[in-house]
Structures are given as structure tokens and as C-alpha cells.
Amino acid sequence: MPQQFVVIIAGGRGERFWPLSRRARPKHLLEVVGSGSLLEQTLRRVAPVVKLANTVIITSAEQARALRAACPGLPKENIVVEPAARNTGPAVALAAALIAARDPQATFAVLPADHVVRAVRAYRRDLKAAFAAAATRKVLVTLGIRPTAPATGFGYIRCGGRSIRAGGRSFARIERFVEKPPLAAARRYLADGSYLWNAGMFVWGVQSLATAFQAHAPALWDAFAPVRTALATGTPRQLKGAMRAAYAGVERISIDHALLEKVSNGVVLPASFDWDDVGSWAALSRHMVADAADNRVSGEGVVVDGRGNLVIASPGRVVALLGVNDCVVVQTDDATLVMPRARAEQVRSVVQALERKPSRARWL
């Protein structure tokens, strides 16, 4: 029987949750929502569906050490370090090579490491149904999230009229992928009802994927031919060299752009679970309890005469706000960030400003 695998994409530059996140400690390694880091929660969520031995994490050299420490039960060879960050297109091509080397008939899911899902049983049911569809119907499955707001930060998927059934669920044919839209379009998509958010969660068979790559992204697929050869017959050292060569030449492109927008066998499963990518400090508010003045405080915080603030204090330290409204204040051992909630999507500009400081290293 063909095996099932999970490939967790653990990228991230540690910018959006600065100063808590750092280059070597991106969001998925933080315990910002729920118990344990978001990556640990992802592993726990998947574990009953796919055994740990079949779980592969693709990550960067910068965070490999922290990641190994965070995943003590994971076989060492299941943590794969990309020589460079090239977006999800090359990462999926690499994953396909890695999984095919273990089982050429396998199906595998691609999942982000840093999302929040509370309805874990619904999540697992959906994942199993997606595996069933990928295995039996040779389709490329995307899990789509029913929009709850006119978000401009996500890509959308427009569901087509036809549908297929597998694992007891209906999968809609994908009519098209839509780039992150302006607000007016996002509002239309929300009202329309046939658009879902693209959350970067995919399930497919190794063979279906290879066929699609060869048809629609042959250059990207061919770039990884030496990697496939090294996996089949080479030494670990040869594999490392082949990976370095592949990444040196390959285009930086998402799997959506490289492949999924072009295939005709793409289907989407509307997720039956809640989902939040917690994309910023402000987004974290949704997971915190507000006090009577709509302030959300983690740790020791004091808000005098202020409303609508998000306050994060590190252990043993206190954060005090006086006459401040609708701000985010985050304090860690060695850094403090203050900004209006409305600027929470722009924390990257602070990280960029820090990069220009001579004394920056310790804070990045």
C-alpha cells in the first residue's frame, strides 16, 4: 500500500513577530497561541494521520538548530535544509524528489508550519479525505478556507461548478487562482461565496505531481534532476552538492504560480475546520481575552486610562501604558516594540531599520 507523507514548510524570516521572532526563531517556533510552539502544534495535529517517521520538515540553515531542538522525536534526516530560500515552487520540487525516493507511489501533504487550527478532528478528517482524493482520483488537492473577512493579504481560489467526490467529501474543481486582491475585489469575493482563501495547504500523489511539473514547469522540474539522481544512487555529500547546484540556478516562484494555476486536475476541498494564519501582532488579539477596556495583556501589564491595546510582557518584567489607545507594545528580554495596531503589518520596516544599525546583530 502506498505510503502517506507530510512535508511541513518551515520558512519564515522572523520579521512579523519581531521582537519575539528572530531570524533563527521565526513564528512557528514561538508559543504565541495555544500550548507549545505553532510547529509543535502542527506536528501534533498531523500525527494521527501521518506517522512521525513520514513527516519531513523543509527549513533554512539559520533556524535548523532551533528546529532540531524543537522536534526531539523527529528522525534527524527528516529535517531538510534548503541551501537558499526560493519560495514554495522549488521546495515542493525538492519534497517530491525526497518522498519519491522513499516511495514512488506515495501521496504527500504540504503544510505550513505556523498556522492556528483549533478543530483538530475536523482538520484530520479533511486531511484524510484529501489523501484519499489524491490517491484515488489523481488530482492535485488544495485545502481552501472559507473567507470570514475581505482579507487582502491572502490569495483566493475560485471554485468551479463541477465537483468530484472522494473520502466521503466533495471537492470542487478549481476555476482559477486569484492573486492577493485589492479591498473592493476582496469584498466581492466574500459576498460571492464561490471564493476560498488559499492557505498553502496541498495534498497530491508523487506521480501526479511529477506529471504536472513535467507538463507545466519543466525547467523547475529539470533543475532537480541531479537531486533525484543523488537520492537514488549518490552519497550524502553528492546529494548536498546536487541540492546546492539546483538552488543556485532555480527560479524563485511559488508552487501556485509555477504549477497550480496551470493544471487542469486541480481541486479544492473547502476546509471544515477553523483556521488562522496569525499573520501579525494585531492578529494575535483574536486569540487573547480582552479586559473591560478592550485591552489584551499577556504577562505583567498595567494599562492606565487606555483602550484597545495589545500588551506582551516577558516574564519578570512589567509593561505599563498611560493614556495610550489601540497600540501594540511587545517587550522581550532585550527589545521593546511600540506601534499603533494599524501598523502591525509593517513590522518588517523596523527589522529593516535595525539591519542598518552597527549593533544590530543581537536583535535580528
Q: How far is the CB of 84 from a second copy (least distance, A)?
A: 28
Q: How far is the CB of 352 from a second copy (least distance, A)?
A: 8
- DSSP 8-state secondary structure symbol assigned to residue 176: E
CA angle 47, 50, 51 (to 5 degrees): 75
- Cα 49 from chain centre: 18
> Measured in Å, how far apart are the chain's first and last C-alpha atoms?
46
Length of the chain: 364
Label residues 176-197 b or e (16+ Cβ within 10 Å = b).
Answer: ebbeebeeebbeebbeeeebbb
Q: How far is the CB of 329 from a second copy (least distance, A)?
A: 5
Number of Cβ within a 10 Å radius of residue 77: 9
- C-alpha 158/C-alpha 156 separation (Å) is 7
| Residues found near a second copy in the complex (CB under 8 A) | 18-19, 300, 302, 304-305, 313, 316-324, 327, 329, 331, 334-340, 342-343, 346-347, 349-350, 353-354, 357, 359, 362-363
Rank residues 59 and 280 by Cβ distance to a second copy and give the closer one. Answer: 280
Q: How far is the CB of 322 from a second copy (least distance, A)?
A: 4
Q: How far is the CB of 358 from a second copy (least distance, A)?
A: 10
Number of Cβ within a 10 Å radius of residue 264: 11
Rank residues 77 and 334 by Cβ distance to a second copy and give the closer one. Answer: 334
Give the list of residues 6+ apart from residue 130 with CB closer than 8 angstroms, or none: 109, 141, 143, 167, 203, 269
Rank residues 2 and 340 by Cβ distance to a second copy and give the closer one. Answer: 340
For residue 98, which amino acid is it?
A: L
Is there a contact between 44 and 363 (Cβ–Cβ < 8 Å)? no
- In this structure, the strands spanning 296-298 and 310-312 are parallel
Nearest one of 314, 337, 341 to 327, comparing CA atoms? 341
Residue 66 phi/psi, 5° resolution? -60, -35
**CA 125, 81, 351, 302: dihedral to nearest 10 degrees?**
50
Q: How far is the CB of 185 from a second copy (least distance, A)?
A: 26
Q: How far is the CB of 242 from a second copy (least distance, A)?
A: 41
Q: How far is the CB of 303 from a second copy (least distance, A)?
A: 8
Give the list of residues 6+ apart from residue 232 with CB closer than 8 angstroms, or none: 101
- In this structure, the strands spanning 155-166 and 169-178 are antiparallel
Q: How far is the CB of 338 from a second copy (least distance, A)?
A: 5
Rank residues 157 and 311 by Cβ distance to a second copy and give the closer one. Answer: 311
